[in-house]
Amino acid sequence: MSTYRIQKGDTLSALAARFKTSVSELARTNKIANPNLIIAGKTLRVPGHAQNDSFQPGKSGGSGTKGSGGSGRTGGSTGGGQVEESRGAGKPGQATAAMRKLATAGRAAAMSMGGYNSQGLCATGVSKAIQNAFGFKVWGNGNQIDNNLPRDKFKQVNMSLAEALKIPGMVLTWEKTSSAAGSKYGHTAITTGDGRSSVSDFIERNTLGAGGRTGLKIFMPTM
């Protein structure tokens, strides 16, 4: 069993091909709940290789032999930045129980507040869903919630809005929207996983089609 330190830009499918194994085998060996999300800086155990084949990055940036990482960069990753793989993202089986629980709580909160009509209380809806799903409250308006999400329970991930909308239970935050209130308070919502809609104080059928929003951040429950 050898090891490899995950680099920024790596995906599990690319690493599986490189190490001549499968995504499912890497996920099983490393107890990865969501194969679409791996973290730079973490150590990956690689089955089927000698223990002294560490695959760590070296000066040559080789193709996966001992001492090279294949990324062309010297040294290992120094941060815990999020690395995501978009291929196959959003299948229900790839979401964790916490993510599915938050998506369900988000839809219930939206239906109890505005249904399909915005009430201008997006942060209230998202906070209500988090409290109902996990038992704690997150304060702040749409562009403050991202700073108030507990980092031991949520982590920021690097992916596009289109990819995030395929995965249930992701928390979306925007710094500003095109409305008068949104330009001041921003917007926040929870993905349903259908590739289109999100929920807050109401169900937004087409989040991808909502223009004029800037400063998007995406967070995933880690509980």
Per-position DSSP letters for 41-99, written without gaps between them: T-EEEETTS-TT------TT--SSSTT--SSS-SS---S--EEE--TTTT-GGGS-HHH
Can you give the C-alpha Rg of the chain in angstroms?
A: 19
Name the DSSP class of 210. Answer: -
The pLDDT-based confidence of 22 (bands split at 50, 70, 90) is confident
Classify burial at 3, counting beta carbons within 10 Å of its beta carbon; exposed 0-12, middle 13-18, buried 19 or more: middle
pLDDT at 116 over 80: yes
Q: For 29-53, what is the HEC assignment? A: HCCCCCCCEEECCCEEEECCCCCCC
Give the residue, 61 or 155, on which the prediction is more confident.
155
**Averaged pLDDT, 71-89:** 35
pLDDT at 123 over 80: yes
Tokens of 94: 């790839």
**Averaged pLDDT, 27-53:** 77
Query: Which of 6-15, 46-55, 108-117 shows the highest mean pLDDT?
Result: 108-117
pTM over 0.95, yes/no: no
Sign of CA dihedral 191, 197, 198, 202: negative
Q: In this predicted structure, what is the pLDDT of residue 8?
A: 76
Q: Domains in the chain and their CATH numbers?
A: 1-85 (3.10.350.10), 92-221 (3.90.1720.10)
Residue 105 CB contacts under 8 Å (≥ 6 apart), including other chains: 128, 129, 130, 132, 133
Question: pLDDT tens, 1-21?
Answer: 688 888 877 788 778 878 888
Q: Give DSSP secondary structure letters for 124-167.
A: HHHHHHHHHHHS----S-TTTHHHHS-TTTEEEE---HHHHTTS
The pLDDT-based confidence of 204 (bands split at 50, 70, 90) is very high
pLDDT at 176 over 80: yes
Question: pLDDT tens, 126-175?
Answer: 999 999 999 999 999 888 898 999 999 999 998 899 999 999 999 999 99
The pLDDT-based confidence of 37 (bands split at 50, 70, 90) is confident
pLDDT at 80 over 50: no
